[in-house]
């Protein structure tokens, strides 16, 4: 693994906020690492292809990147916020019910985060 890929992998693994490619780039720049945006994109694609990081797609928002530790996500349908949640591993029950050999799965539960819920309630109150 090249030096930039290792730095990017370390950045993703240390992150708790599911950074976008641009956020990874800005983080590296702040640390004094000289990389181009293209280098970040290429290394993220390579790390993802090798199964070393996860890519979390949220419709309407840039792709986010995450570590590969087994966990699931809550995804706010309004602002795109991602929250890690630890749910039961469903692999065995899916295999039992379907008869299929499950390689992996990603579970993203769509919800409305507290801030967006509060904003919606406030907006509704103004219209009543």
Distance between CA atoms of residues 20 and 66, nearest Å: 9
Structural domains in the chain plus CATH codes:
1-68 (1.10.10.10), 70-128 (3.30.1490.190)
- Residues 25-36 have pLDDT tens digits of 999 999 999 999
Q: Which class for 44: exposed (0-12), middle (13-18), buried (19 or more C-beta within 10 A)?
A: buried
At 91 the pLDDT is 87
- Residues 44-86 have pLDDT tens digits of 999 999 999 999 998 899 999 999 998 999 999 999 999 999 8
- Residues 75-113 have pLDDT tens digits of 999 999 999 998 888 888 889 999 999 888 888 999 999
Distance between CA atoms of residues 41 and 108, nearest Å: 23
Q: Token digits for 66? A: 């995450």
At 110 the pLDDT is 94
Q: Are 39 and 21 in contact (CB under 8 A)?
A: no
Q: Are 68 and 53 in contact (CB under 8 A)?
A: yes
């Amino acid at each position: 693994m090249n030096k930039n890929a290792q730095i990017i992998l370390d950045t993703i693994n240390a992150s708790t906020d599911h950074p976008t490619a641009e956020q990874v780039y800005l983080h590296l720049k702040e640390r004094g690492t000289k990389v181009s945006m293209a280098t970040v994109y290429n290394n993220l694609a390579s790390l993802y292809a090798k199964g070393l990081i996860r890519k979390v797609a949220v419709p309407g928002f840039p792709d986010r990147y995450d570590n590969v530790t087994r966990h699931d996500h809550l995804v706010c349908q309004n602002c795109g916020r991602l929250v890690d949640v630890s749910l039961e591993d469903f692999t065995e029950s899916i295999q039992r019910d379907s008869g299929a050999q499950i390689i992996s799965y990603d579970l993203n539960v769509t919800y409305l985060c507290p801030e967006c819920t509060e904003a919606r309630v406030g907006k509704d109150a103004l219209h009543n």
